[in-house]
Chain A
């Protein structure tokens, strides 16, 4: 595919990672940065109608301030009548110099018309919690806790919603949970958390642990959608994220 076919509006989905100092940016900050970067890169962005036209950008599930990610996404509508959008494969390279260090566009694809929005499509996210040096006792306690949480029929947590205390069962939204210890002795939790009917926040899962683990880093590694009954990512990565390799070492 070399060049975007001439259509009234071309929808493109981009994937990016967020690592390092920029993990402290809020979702809102990042949305503004992305908006400025597409303008700086000279992409012919379509604008909304009305008094104060806004560039037509659509963001997926918010990532909490402080977390890192290999799997963030946004959609942008391009207007070929405003300029040649160029090849979709070239977009990551064009955006790179316009983004702060640590925010890296890793893939871009054209969207078929009628593709559901990110908010709608994503059904779960996979998270990695890096706990740092974990001794044998702590490790076996965590492993036991993970087993206990998975064995539980329900997991009622009390949440504050609109000023009221509400009880919610977390268990149906914990789709996967495991604990491992790396060769260096660092503890790592992996969890897949559902987003329907509501997103479970990583902090809620951690609060369900008696040992209240305090991860040094929390990384969203995947977001998942269902296509033809298959679990898949909104955009697959051709190659693993550059950070994934760095971090694994």
Chain B
């Protein structure tokens, strides 16, 4: 980005469309429609001298990336600015990548098919750890040096945002900077810095970016190790803050985006209108990073929801809308909002409404009944754990009777299939807890038999991977072998019952995910090596290669057990300690101790604030229309923490976690 004879050298240098070179290649690849763009709602990008050009990249396929709302929101906000232009790109599938490399064609935007290298910024959305190798691959396909330190004055800046950036350390070598938290405001501030420093040396620009709140520049920090242990991450420039705080948009009502949701021409996931009804969640599930890092709860005003739905349906021609959030049934007055949409003539009559997550109680099913008037096929619930004790540990306070009521209510109202989501490998999990999953499944089938001849219950089981900025960030995750054992144990139990099916995720992927989730900068060499050896699309089971990860760890003398299976101590420096999601570390530690003591924590939306830091630290607060919790069982009130399972309420003193330095199979309180 040096000051050249033309105001925007990046634009002048090879920014013509590569469509002519791409077109013949598309005849040879699967699903070529994902590379043509042409979506309804796509902006005609207004390039111009002096504008800061952003290429927003989703490092997975178009089908997965196109619906991403975060990316679409930034796409609109940037294109509304007179000093910015934004286009989009997605990871080419393996067949097209081979063609691109064979013919020397770079990664391209789908809007105008400009080469990625012609943009000022390559901005990645990071939603999953297993896409890290794809990120590196996209940088390389753009013709940009993959290591930030090797980039020159004319190379784009590589930036990442999204949930995974709360521990970006494994990608520190590849990213020029990182954005923590909500992107709506900070993209504009970054644009202004880029305008003000156009042509300046990279370090000058990065130093200026350090001053933008929510921006983290990895190269501005010095990392010190003592042997295996990380001992410090400290700023090396005066501009770099000791701790980088996340950004939080105080009021969603000011950001009614996306206004023109993109309508793809080919099939994608979540192919429907999506309207975000609130951001943040304070239910406090201890395994859930999304809930912890997006606090506090910020509801969109119900009127704005209605307008966005009506306008969105009219513009897009969709006949389905999803009201999205981490727990939509908690939206104040959700029943009225849903009814309003279904009855609103402005919404055209034939509209179906869906909620991505259903609350586990009869109230949740009543809403679902309102939504699905016609054919009722399947309903999904997420009790997450098989026993009340386990659910107290993870603070997912669903009583068994609430689940049964919900399931019975579903069958009695005509549903035939129920799907239940669970995690295994949770802290303190015993075989009794694991087998409790089978029992819940069996009991649900029994309830179904009262209403239908052949009820079907599917239990879906995932291996738990601890995430930064959750109370479980100190927990040594279960080994692949242990997860496999639990899954087999459960599978054998489930098989005894007709009517219950079981699905599970490959536990081997949890090792690679765990390495990235809580790894430090030393893992950069590992990600790079896995990528160099062809390990892309690692979140696709047909592409996942555990051997590559294990070999790369060995090559670089790193111990996977130490990174994933080891419990962390209270005084240990965590690789993300210089970053902040607002949450006080001592709050998280206390919640971890409470978890081990099987003590629940109520939802602070409807009970007094316990000062986790997410509001208090930033001078913001919840925006919740209704001060009373929604009706319903345990999920409704959030208060009845002591009741529930077969066990009496446990309000014991916190017990010390049993710490083992080596790999742990059964978890912190290990009883298996």
List the interface of chain A (C-beta within 8 A of B): 21-22, 24-26, 28-29, 32-33, 36-37, 39-40, 51-53, 65-66, 98, 100-102, 216
List the interface of chain B (C-beta within 8 A of A): 19, 24, 26-27, 31-33, 35-38, 40, 263, 265-267, 316-319, 350, 374-375
Q: Which residues of B contact A32 (CB under 8 A)?
A: 267
Known contacts A21-B19, A22-B265, A100-B265; A65/B33 CB under 8 A: yes
Q: Which residues of B contact A53 (CB under 8 A)?
A: 350
Q: Which residues of B contact A25 (CB under 8 A)?
A: 33, 36, 265-266
Contact: A66 with B317, CB < 8 Å?
A: no
Number of A-B contacts (CB under 8 A): 51
Q: Which residues of A contact B266 (CB under 8 A)?
A: 25-26, 29
Contact: B375 with A24, CB < 8 Å?
A: no
* Additional A-B contact list (8), CB under 8 Å, known A25-B266, A29-B33: A21-B36, A26-B33, A29-B267, A36-B317, A51-B374, A51-B375, A100-B40, A101-B38
Q: Which residues of A contact B32 (CB under 8 A)?
A: 24, 65-66
A32 CA to B317 CA, complexed, in Å: 11
Q: Which residues of B contact A28 (CB under 8 A)?
A: 267
CB distance from B276 to the nearest CB of A (A): 22
Contact of A98 among B33, B265, B267, B317 (CB under 8 A): B317
Q: Please, which residue of chain A has its CB at the minimum distance from the CB of B319?
A: A39
A101 CA to B31 CA, complexed, in Å: 19
Q: Which residues of B contact A37 (CB under 8 A)?
A: 317
A100 CA to B36 CA, complexed, in Å: 11
Q: Which residues of A contact B319 (CB under 8 A)?
A: 39
Q: Which residues of B contact A98 (CB under 8 A)?
A: 317
Contact: B374 with A52, CB < 8 Å?
A: yes
Q: Please, which residue of chain B has its CB at the minimum distance from the CB of A98?
A: B317
CB distance from B100 to the nearest CB of A (A): 16
Q: Which residues of A contact B33 (CB under 8 A)?
A: 24-26, 29, 65
Top 5 A-B residue pairs of the complex, sorted by shortest distance between their CB atoms = A40-B317, A24-B32, A51-B375, A36-B317, A21-B36
Contact: B27 with A100, CB < 8 Å?
A: no
Among A28, A29, A52, A216, the one with the most B-chain Cβ atoms within 10 Å of its Cβ is A29
Q: Which residues of A contact B19 (CB under 8 A)?
A: 21
A216 CA to B375 CA, complexed, in Å: 47
Q: Which residues of B contact A24 (CB under 8 A)?
A: 26, 32-33, 35-36
CB distance from B369 to the nearest CB of A (A): 16
A102 CA to B23 CA, complexed, in Å: 15
Contact: A21 with B374, CB < 8 Å?
A: no
Contact: B27 with A66, CB < 8 Å?
A: yes
Q: Which residues of B contact A26 (CB under 8 A)?
A: 31, 33, 266
Contact: B26 with A22, CB < 8 Å?
A: no
A32 CA to B39 CA, complexed, in Å: 13
CB distance from B159 to the nearest CB of A (A): 29
Q: Which residues of B contact A40 (CB under 8 A)?
A: 317
Q: Which residues of B contact A65 (CB under 8 A)?
A: 32-33
Q: Which residues of B contact A52 (CB under 8 A)?
A: 374-375
Contact: A39 with B265, CB < 8 Å?
A: no
A52 CA to B374 CA, complexed, in Å: 7
Contact: A22 with B36, CB < 8 Å?
A: yes
CB distance from A202 to the nearest CB of B (A): 12
A53 CA to B316 CA, complexed, in Å: 20
A100 CA to B110 CA, complexed, in Å: 14
A101 CA to B44 CA, complexed, in Å: 12
CB distance from B609 to the nearest CB of A (A): 46
Q: Please, which residue of chain A has its CB at the minimum distance from the CB of B264?
A: A29
Contact: B38 with A100, CB < 8 Å?
A: yes
Q: Which residues of A contact B36 (CB under 8 A)?
A: 21-22, 24-25
